[in-house]
Amino acid sequence: MADQTFQTLGEFLIEKQDDFKYSSGELSRLLSAIRLASKVVNREVNKAGIAEIIGQAGMENIQGEQQQKLDVLANDIFIEALSQREVVCGIASEENDDYIEIISKENAHLSKYVVLMDPLDGSSNIDVNVSVGTIFSVYRRVSEPGTPVELRDFLQKGVNQVAAGYVVYGSSTMIVYSTGNGVNGFTLDPSIGTYYLSHPNMMFSKSGKIYSINEGNYAKFPKGVKEYLKYCQEEEGDRPYTSRYIGSLVSDFHRNMIKGGIYIYPSTSQSPKGKLRLLYECNPMAYLTEQAGGKCSDGFQRIMEIEPTELHQRVPFFCGSSDMVEKAEEFMRNAQ
């Protein structure tokens, strides 16, 4: 990545700014803030084992889950970076009970955008040195600029997203994002702290040979999911498929987008509404999936058409190569 002929993320943002129909420079500054925060989080993730910031923080988040120390740190880093740039009027995070109102020092409440994020997805894997990530989603506010941000600014369907992306902190650190004109990936050169375009125009293949699901929960899965897994494991045609599951959504999604596959986190008898969060995980990943030619649903309907009713709403999640998702949906319908 040291080859300076690569296009940097900063150059790419400037070049593509005019492609964005609401372009005023704000969105580019917002994405630049995420770029900066990701570098700081990357530094903390990479020194976690020697900096006493692995393990539990001794607190629970709104979902009743134990917060990891790095969850809290990453959340603070992204909130600080987005707040200081004065480009968002509100932030909602998986780690916070309620949304955060951001008041600009100079132009109180005038910012047009809100950000929803999972600051450190898969953070329980930090202790065992497995890849983790950040997921973010950007919407234009629906309330009147100049007034305080409202809950309805965050409870928007996924189809209203103007940008979404993720950062994967793995063997290399990458930002992958879209503003509605395809999906592009940028890899961090840690020697100079610059992201370079490494994966232009990322696309899901129409089908694939990987299925990703926590099969340890098999007994709790709906009948349609069980039947689809049997189908994946049959020796017929290009099957059986290969099972690959990391347990970090960003990592599993990233691999499947590059190699072709399906990721499933279904409802279970213990979690009948699903486990993943619609606003912080499913909508942004669905946006990227569709921009990359894939498909995303809850097993029956398009994820981005689901009407949110609460900040921390959960849904079942099927996403990836379109043929594979459609086949899984077929099994779900037939099992009803």
* Residues in binding site for substrate: 121-124, 214, 245, 275
Three-state SS at 80? helix
CA 189, distance to chain mean position in Å, is 22
Residue 238 to residue 226: CA distance in whole angstroms: 19
Report how far residue 72's alpha carbon sits from residue 123's, in angstroms, rounded to the nearest whole number: 10
Question: Which residues carry a binding-site annotation?
Answer: 94, 118, 120-124, 214, 245, 275, 281
Report the alpha-carbon distance of residue 239 to residue 262 in Å, rounded: 14
Task: Please list, residue by residue across 24-39, b when 16 or more beta carbons sit within 10 angstroms of its beta carbon and e when fewer do.
Answer: eebbbbbbbbbbbbbb
Instruction: Return the beta strands (E) in 109-171 as ranges.
Output: 113-121, 132-140, 161-169
CA dihedral 315, 321, 324, 327 (to 10 degrees): 70
Instruction: Please report, in range form, the residues annotated as the binding site for Mg(2+).
Output: 94, 118, 120-121, 281
Q: What is the DSSP string of 129-143?
A: T--EEEEEEEEE--S
